[in-house]
Structure 1
Amino acid sequence: MSVREGNEKSKNMAEMSPPDGNRRAGRKGNKRSGTVADFRYKSSPPPETKSKERRARRDGASRNRNNGKAAEPASARAARSPRPMHKPHGGPRYRQAYAALDLGTNNCRLLIARPSGENFTVIDAFSRVVKLGEGLAHSGRLSDDAMDRALGALKVCSDKLRRRNVYLARSVATEACRRASNGEDFIQRVKDETGIVLDIITAEEEARLAVLGCHVLLEQGEGRAVIFDIGGGSTELVLIEPNGRGVPRILDWQSVPWGVVSLSDTVAKTDRGQEARLARYAEMRRVVGESFTPFAERVAQHAGQPDIRLLGTSGTVTTLASLHLELPQYDRRAVDGLIVPSQVMRDISLRLSAMSVDERCTLPCIGQDRAELVVAGCAILESIIDLWPAEKLGVADRGIREGILRSLMAGDFATARDRKAMDETRKAQ
């Protein structure tokens, strides 16, 4: 596919502008961190803190209304004049809770948030390693154990969605369900047992949502950029160009069926010494590099230009960033928005590829869950740096879920504006 064809195919992938600007003023971070993008979505304060703040504001307002006298107890006010229930389709949208659920090949993740100005405030989140795609590369099916693990996590998500009284939600499934011969049957089982309706999205939609969710963390610059998402069963690459404060324009994209799970399962495991481990890593690099070749050829004319940028959203890049910072345990606030020299990420990748599984298990921020899979992620990452040799790499601990939330909120706000405009037109007539 040519760049022109890629432009036409991807033209509609970034039409929806999220309700935030591109505020990326750099600031100094950890002495090993390079720079950090100063753009964070806010976390909701603890429930007890919020309750105290609400009581303080309510009591203060009551004293003002009563000329300084003590406020009437809330219970007495409620008994005398109960508050009407909030109607989902009425009132200001900032009161509503929105949810995004992403069931990937390796993880199940949920994010629940409310709009907050140009951004959103997270009120609940959930993440669990479910290994849904375990064994899929060989059998072509989701295993019973993998489906049971995923259902266990989805039941937790279902409970959170009910307790948070979510107004609007979108739940998506990606590569594992796209590839599995029993993927549709599993989707129906999820609906029957949890009430969650999963939408198996295309690779194109997955790439669009990843860009929408993390583009605000791109390093300052005018050059073109590649945003990538290393998943469990696939990797998406997207070539973009800046578009002022809005969503960048997508020029080209590609999805390959290699993620940390599918690549690990395909290239035979070995732990017979460092030489054998390095040979396996080289084979992973070869397999992924061949898959990236069509995209690499299409973007080659841009890859040699000055001021190119690179931004990654995945467990691979956040894990490697944590090792770079020498964090004793994972800290999203330190990692999300980090800018790291690409060569540093290469060096860490090579070091991990030579280590045994047991040695990787002892490293902070890796542990048992990632020890087996992180090497495949490193191979994919190095292949991406090969085709897009930016000097620095941006790290994003955000992606599809954030993209879904921004799409939901922006679409809902647009619908509300259109409805209001129609009502005003009717009144005028």
Structure 2
Amino acid sequence: MGDVSAREPQRQVPPAIGPDRQAVNRPQRGRWSNAQAFAALDLGTNNCRLLIARPQPVDGGTGSGFAVIDAFSRIVRLGEGLAASNRLSDAAIDRTLAALKICGDKLRRRNVTLARSVATEACRRAVNGADFIARAYDETGIHLDIISAEEEARLAVLGCHVLIEPGEGPALIFDIGGGSTELVLVDTGGAIPRVLDWHSAPWGVVSLTESSPGGEGRDGRIAAYARMRALVADSMAAFAARLPTGVPRARLLGTSGTVTTLGSVHLGLPSYDRSVVDGLIVPAAAMRRISGDLAAMDVRERAQLACIGTERADLVVAGCAILETIMDLWPAERLGIADRGIREGILRRLMGASRP
């Protein structure tokens, strides 16, 4: 896998937002009219997320960064039912196309000149994934690249690794998705992290929930949670065996809806606040305690908790099972939480950043 700074394909995006075409100059208005706009779209198994940004110097002009112009996020559950049918359902496709049309409108309104849109595990796994990609382009003008699990992991690292706690030795970064979980062991000794090892497990919050139905009553739910953890542990066993032992101070950084949600629960936030969650450091024991509590609750009880609600109530337990398994194989005392990842990694590549 190597250095995460290897450059990615870039797509010129005119108003039609199609692949490999030169941008069209049009009269621009508004605050951002003189700035080149870049966009990154990440279509996962559960979420559709877009960031539009412009370059912005940092560190007195010696570094590279960006200022977000516009953003969009919606839970679309593209991979719903995929575990049983190996196909993207019509309902899931319709939900996702509706979200992509909103993204396409934002790209046109912001006069985006360079963008990359990626699709991950659901489209990799579905037998009709390629057909969906073609339909999405026809109906929205957005060209989605189905990227590999390795590329997904590499982009996530580039997007969030600046939040790894300072320290010696390797650190572990993970991204719990809807259909898979990526784990990357990195050496942080240089300006850009060097990937030492990586693994993609076939379990995310949607795929694990659908493959491991919950039990009845508190005891049944706790037993179902244990089964989830066993499935995840088995899928990560080969990677766990390769991890170094005796690391004096293991460092762990997570990027996903699971960790940001649990971080919000830990803080007792009445509603989600990225400004206090992104970069948060939480004791691992606290995350385990929250995970155990949520696993014992029923869906109605979880839905009543702020920052979980009805949209995440049925999926958050699977995320907890994956998180606890990761903390078992890399026993850090603290967990870093990042509300950034693939989209930020894409933007850094598009803007030509050689280092975050």
Partner of 1:278: 222
Secondary structure of residue in 1 paired with 2:248: coil
Question: Which 4+ runs in 1 deviate beyond 4 A?
Answer: 85-88
Aligned-partner Cα distance in 1 for 2:249–2:323: 20
Q: What's the CA shift string for 1:185-233, capped at 9, x where partnerless?
A: 0000001000100000000000000000000001111221000000000
Does the 8 Å contact 1:339/1:395 carry over to 2?
A: yes
What residue identity is the alignment partner of 2:137? K
Does the 8 Å contact 1:212/1:403 carry over to 2?
A: yes
Secondary structure of residue in 2 paired with 1:131: coil
Deviation of 1:305 after TM superposition, in Å, equals 1.1
Does the 8 Å contact 1:13/1:205 carry over to 2?
A: no
Q: What's the CA shift string for 1:310-365, capped at 9, x where partnerless?
A: 00000000000001100010000010000111111011000000001000000000
Partner of 2:16: none
Partner of 1:342: 284
Aligned-partner Cα distance in 2 for 1:389–1:403: 26
Deviation of 1:383 after TM superposition, in Å, equals 0.3
Does the 8 Å contact 1:96/1:166 carry over to 2?
A: yes
Q: What's the CA shift string for 1:38-69, capped at 9, x where partnerless?
A: xxxxxxxxxxxxxxxxxxxxxxxxxxxxxxxx
Alignment of 1:185-196 (within 5 A): 185-196=131-142
Partner of 1:259: 204
Does the 8 Å contact 2:4/2:192 carry over to 1?
A: no
Does the 8 Å contact 2:4/2:193 carry over to 1?
A: no
Alignment of 1:190-269 (within 5 A): 190-244=136-190, 246-269=191-214
Q: What's the CA shift string for 1:163-201, capped at 9, x where partnerless?
A: 000010000000000000000000000010001000000
Aligned-partner Cα distance in 1 for 2:85–2:212: 15
Does the 8 Å contact 1:14/1:250 carry over to 2?
A: no
- Structure 1 unmatched runs, 5+: 1-9, 18-84, 89-93, 415-429
Secondary structure of residue in 2 paired with 1:350: helix
Aligned-partner Cα distance in 2 for 1:168–1:243: 32
Q: What's the CA shift string for 1:359-405, capped at 9, x where partnerless?
A: 00000000001000000000000000000001110000000000000
Which among 334, 337, 347 is matched to residue 395 of structure 1? 337
Deviation of 1:303 after TM superposition, in Å, equals 3.8
Which among 254, 270, 279 is matched to residue 312 of structure 1? 254
Secondary structure of residue in 2 paired with 1:110: strand
Aligned-partner Cα distance in 2 for 1:406–1:396: 16
Partner of 1:11: 2
Aligned-partner Cα distance in 2 for 1:127–1:379: 24
Deviation of 1:11 after TM superposition, in Å, equals 1.8
The answer to whether 1:161 aligns with 2:152 is no
Partner of 2:18: none
What residue identity is the alignment partner of 1:369? E
Fraction of identical pairs, as percent: 67
Alignment of 1:283-302 (within 5 A): 283-299=227-243, 302=244
Aligned-partner Cα distance in 2 for 1:146–1:167: 29
Secondary structure of residue in 2 paired with 1:306: coil
Q: What's the CA shift string for 1:233-277, capped at 9, x where partnerless?
A: 000000001133x2210000000110000000001233x210000
Does the 8 Å contact 1:310/1:390 carry over to 2?
A: yes
Q: Which TM-score applies when normalising by structure 1?
A: 0.74
Secondary structure of residue in 2 paired with 1:347: helix
Partner of 2:12: none
Larger radius of gyration: 1
- Work out the number of aligned pairs and report it: 328
Alignment of 1:12-411 (within 5 A): 12-15=3-6, 95-117=35-57, 118-244=64-190, 246-270=191-215, 272-299=216-243, 302-410=244-352
Does the 8 Å contact 2:3/2:194 carry over to 1?
A: no
Aligned-partner Cα distance in 1 for 2:7–2:304: 43
What residue identity is the alignment partner of 1:252? D
Secondary structure of residue in 2 paired with 1:311: strand
Secondary structure of residue in 2 paired with 1:321: helix
Aligned-partner Cα distance in 2 for 1:139–1:179: 11
Does the 8 Å contact 2:52/2:69 carry over to 1?
A: yes
Does the 8 Å contact 1:303/1:387 carry over to 2?
A: no
Deviation of 1:410 after TM superposition, in Å, equals 1.2
Does the 8 Å contact 2:3/2:193 carry over to 1?
A: no
> When you count helix as a share of all residues, which structure comes out higher?
1
Q: Which TM-score applies when normalising by structure 2?
A: 0.89
Does the 8 Å contact 1:14/1:249 carry over to 2?
A: no
What residue identity is the alignment partner of 2:192? V
State the Cα RMSD in Å: 1.8
What residue identity is the alignment partner of 1:399? G
Secondary structure of residue in 2 paired with 1:181: coil
Deviation of 1:119 after TM superposition, in Å, equals 1.2
Does the 8 Å contact 2:214/2:225 carry over to 1?
A: no
Secondary structure of residue in 2 paired with 1:334: helix
398-407 vs 303-312, which deviates more? 303-312
